[in-house]
Amino acid sequence: MIFKVLTSLSHVHKAYILLLVDLTMVATALIVATLLHGESPSALSGLWYAPAVLVTAGAAIHLLGLNRVKLNTFGIEDVAKLIVVAVATSLIGYSLSRALGSSTSSEAMWPGFASLFVVLSVISRYSMFKLVEHVYALQLPRKQVLIYGAGQTGQQMAAALQTDNEFKAFGFVDDDPNLQRLTILGLKVHSPKRVAAIVRQNRIDRVVLAMPSASQSVRLQIGKRLTALGCEVLALPSFADIVLRGEEVTAAAPIRLDTLLGRDVVENELPQTESTYRDRRILVTGAGGSIGGELCRQIARCRPQQLVLVDHSEYALYKITNELKAQNPGLRMTAVLGSIEHPELMRETLMQHKIEVVLHAAAYKHVNLVETNAFEGVRNNVIGTRVLAEEARLARVDRFILISTDKAVRPSSMMGCTKRMAELVIQDLAKRSDHTKFSMVRFGNVLGSSGSVIPLFQKQIRDFGPVTVTHPDVTRYFMTIDEAVRLVLLAGSFSRGGDVFVLDMGEPVSIYDVARKMIEAAGHTVRDEENPAGDIAITFTGLQKGEKMHEELLIGSDMLTTPHPKIMRAQEKMLSELQIASALQDLRRAIEARDEEFLTSTLRRYVETEDVEVAAQTLSKTPTLAVVGES
């Protein structure tokens, strides 16, 4: 109840409350001072000048802005202003009492009144601050921050956190024995020997290294030791450096995308697709994911008649829905919570909203997880795709676009097999559909998407390493999310049925080189044989089951042109309708029987695969044309 009242108060209301409290302190100080210097309690009857004193005090408080100072920022300067108010009020009161010959006022009373008012006002504000802090702490507990370094930067950090609503400084840690056991800004300074106990006993969420003058190697050693305690560790530059050098001292400097891509980004060279999707009724599955979310953002800018979002993750769907509402107030949008595996839900959604275009981005895509959860991978990626695509065909949707992956090309992993099988299902429906244009889009590693190597490297660098790479020679093609989604939308507009869209993506990128560039961009050096004193090491973990040394990009070799010079079209073999029906039947039987051996043999029977061990030994270069889409 108190929390709701506090959060509902406006700045004007708070100013009036503080003014009323200060005037109450003026009246209290005046009464107490009169009683202390008067001969009897009857002396209070002579306080006829009290209204003038209150008016003077109120005017001075308002003019100096004391009633507009936030409780958590009240400091020495504000106490000085209170003294000014007390002196001014005392002078006015004394002048009035002397001019009109008040018998209840003495010269000694007014200094006492002024001192008492200042003390009472400070105590009242401190008490209110502690009360409000306690109420907020019960409703919105702040995260505990331990500041490593009690010097100037650490003290500035602690002062800044005094007014923060999310974080709270617990105390300092410093190597200097002269500072230990001291109290600075109300916070104790502890010895580094007690850090582990402090973190465990006080539930410290974050440790900030406020020691910019220390060498990089010293900070890395301290950071590694603290990270092992289970709390997040951040390094803070000096505030002077932030002011003087700005972005140059950021903890993790941004790296240019073209240095990772091995080529210039091409999103500006791609034609606009707004006219293809304007005023259309569009459904996006997997809308809460990295690619699905970006599809929704770009489609929203095309001004569709309606956008329907489907995802089985409640939180992911909630986040993207709120984001789109905030950025596109006039967008007509519907969020559908559920799985593509349910035909009745997909049928109802497609028919009720009269969907014209389906962009199917829902899939389990993490190689290692699908490898150990093969039944669910097949159920979602293959059976779910078949359910959705068949319902789209029956609903006479105009266009159906499947988001696939380059791992579907002669796959060596279970995830790749499921995605290739999904492609074969769509290819089969494309041959038999008399209205819906089915298409597919393949792309590889997307910078910044969930589960990609870039966020993993960023986290490992923040944790002071080591950065893990599977093999020194492993390579991948990279795209930006904007490139990937623009190509998906282009594939939908170019689709004629039965073709593969290919983008000239330049040369494949060495993952080892990416790791080095990201470490150096963050202001660190790589620790290796040539530089044993470097900051962060790169370790090689070996290829895991299902991973390739080099991702293949094309199944066939026939290339045709498209309306855009950077995008080509390729032809690939398809399975017959009878083969697809038999494959789906066997996969369903394997899932129902939980027979993993039968599941794997079925996929290998219909999908052209590559042996993982052979792939790991293959060091030949891949083509410069990368598959981005197939329809």
Angle at 334 between CA 333 and CA 335, to 5 degrees: 125
Q: Which residues 6+ apart lie within 8 Å of 332 measured at CB?
A: 304, 305, 306, 307
- Alpha helix segments (H runs only) across 355-413: 367-372, 374-378, 384-394
d(CA 412, CA 162): 55
- Taken in order 28, 30, 31, 32, the sign of the CA dihedral is positive
Q: How far apart (Å, rounded) are the C-alpha atoms in residues 239 and 245?
A: 10
Nearest to 286 by CA among 395, 379, 393, 402: 402
Q: Which of 70, 193, 354, 407 is catalytic?
A: 407
Q: What contacts 377, CB < 8 A, 6 or more positions away?
A: 364, 370, 414, 415, 418
Specify the DSSP class assigned to residue 321: H
**CB-based contacts of 75: which residues, under 8 Å, 6+ apart?**
none
- Whole-angstrom distance, CA of residue 9 vs CA of residue 338: 41
Please indicate whether residue 168 is annotated as part of the active site: no
Is residue 180 within 8 A of residue 239, CB to CB? The reply is no
In whole angstroms, what is the distance from residue 491 CA to residue 357 CA?
13
DSSP secondary structure letters along 108-163: THHHHHHHHHHHHHHHHHHHHHHHHHHHHHHHSPPEEEEEE--SHHHHHHHHHHTT
DSSP bridge partners of 476: 509
List residues with catalytic annotation.
407
